[in-house]
Chain A
Amino acid sequence: MSQSPIQRVAQATPEPMARRIRGLSDRTIAWIFVAPTIFLLLAVNIFPLIWTVRLSFTDFRVNRPNRDVEWVGLENYQRILTDADIWHTMQATAHFLVWTIVLQVLIGFTLAFLINKKFKGNDLWTTIIVFPMMLSPAVVGNFWTFLYQPQIGLFNYVVAFFTGADPASFSMIGDVALAPWAIVIADTWMWTPFVMLICLAGLRSIPDSIYEAAECDRASKWRQFWTITVPMVLPFLMLAVLFRGIENFKMFDLVVQLTGGGPGNTTTLTSIDLKREAFEKWRTGYSSAYAVILFVTVFGLASIYVKALNKVKQR
C-alpha cells in the first residue's frame, strides 16, 4: 500500500529527533512555527520604533557616529512644536489630506455606481479606469509635470478651452496658490480607481433581493439609494478612507517628483520635511521626535477610525 508524503517524512526523520518532537505539546510546536515571524516582526517593526523613541530624546546625528550623544530630554519636541515652518507644513498636509480624500471618495463612489450598472464594454471601462493606479508614482509625477507645463501642457489648454484664459498665463506648479491643488489633482487622478474598486466590491456584495423587496414596497430609486446602497457600502467606503488617509499622510514620491515641495514650501508635506531633516540636515534625534509626533497622530486617528468602522459593521 502506498504511503502518504507525511508518513514518508515521519519515517525518514531520524529516531532521536522524532522522539524529541513526539515529546512536544501542540502548543510548543505552534510556538516553534510562529517564533520566526514574531522575531522578524520584533526586529523589523517594534525594535526600530522603540529605538526611534529613544533617539528622539537625544541630539544624535547619524553622519557623526563617533560624536558623544547627549540626552536632551524634551527639547526636540519643544522645538518642533513651536516651529512656525513645521506648523505650516502640517497645514499643507491637512489641505492635501482633506481634499484628496473628499474628491477620491466622491468621484470613486460615483464611478463605482456607474460601472456597477450592466452595460456593453463594462469590463473594458473598468480596466481603463484602473490603469492610473498601476503606474509608479514617479511616472505619474513626471507625466503630470508635462501636463502642467504652461506652454505645452495639455492641462493648461483644457482649462483655457473652458475658461477662455491664456494657457501660458498660469502655471499650476509654479504658482503659490495653484501648486497645492496641482498635487491634489494628480493624487486624485492616480488613486480614485482604488477607492472605486473598494466601492465596487461593496456595491456588488448587496444582494439583488433587497432591491427587489424595495421595488415591491414601491420605494423610489432615490429612497433605495439612501436606505440600501449607502448604508451597505458605508463600511467599504470607510475602509477606503482609512487606507487613503494613512497613505496620504505619508505621501512623498508623487509630490517630490511633481513639485519638490515648492514653490517655497507651499507643497512641503510632513514626510518631505521629515526626510530633509533626517537625510539632508542629518538631525537624526530631531527627526526622530518629528517621526514620533506623526506616528502618534496617525495611530490615534486610526484607532478611533477602526472603532467607528466596527460600529458601522455591527449595525
Chain B
Amino acid sequence: MKKLLNDLLRLRRGPWEMLASVLIALGVLMLMQPFSIALYTWSFVTTLTGTVMFVIVSHFPE
C-alpha cells in the first residue's frame, strides 16, 4: 500500500493507469447497473474522468 502511494506521488505510469482503469470500469458498471438511478447519473462523469486520466497517465514514465 505504501509502495502504491509512493509510486502515485512519483507520477509512475503503472499505479496511475490502474487507478484510471478502475474508474473506467466503475463508470461502466454504474452506467449499466439496474439498482440506482443516482449511480447511473454519475456514471458518465466517472467514466470520462477515468478515460481522460488514462490518456494523460499513459505518457508518464514506467
Contacts and interface: CB of A to CB of B under 8 A. Distances in A.
Bound pair (A, B): yes
Interface of A: 77, 81-82, 84, 87, 90-91, 93-94, 293, 296-297, 299-301, 303-304, 307
Nearest to B51: A300
A94 B48 contact: no
Contacts of A293: 44
Interface of B: 17, 20-21, 24-25, 27-28, 31-34, 37, 40-44, 47-48, 50-51, 54-55
Given A82-B37, A296-B48, A301 B24 contact: yes
Given A293-B44, A296-B51, A304 B21 contact: yes
25 contacts: A77-B44, A81-B40, A81-B43, A82-B37, A87-B40, A90-B32, A91-B33, A296-B47, A296-B51, A297-B28, A297-B31, A297-B44, A297-B47, A299-B51, A300-B24, A300-B28, A300-B47, A300-B48, A300-B51, A303-B51, A303-B54, A303-B55, A304-B54, A307-B17, A307-B21
B37 A84 contact: yes
A299 B53 CA distance: 13
A297 B37 contact: no
Do most interface residues of chain B lie in helix, strand or loop, or is the interface mixed? helix
Contacts, number: 52
Most buried by B among A82, A300, A301, A307: A300
Contacts of B20: 304
Given A81-B43, A91-B32, A303-B21, 9 more contacts: A84-B37, A90-B31, A94-B32, A296-B44, A297-B27, A300-B47, A300-B54, A303-B51, A304-B21
A40 B51 CA distance: 26
Contacts of B47: 296-297, 300
A91 B28 CA distance: 11
Contact of A90 (B24, B40, B51): B40
* 9 residue pairs, one from A and one from B, having the closest CB atoms: A94-B32, A300-B24, A300-B51, A304-B21, A81-B41, A87-B40, A91-B34, A303-B54, A90-B32
Contacts of A87: 37, 40
A90 B47 CA distance: 15
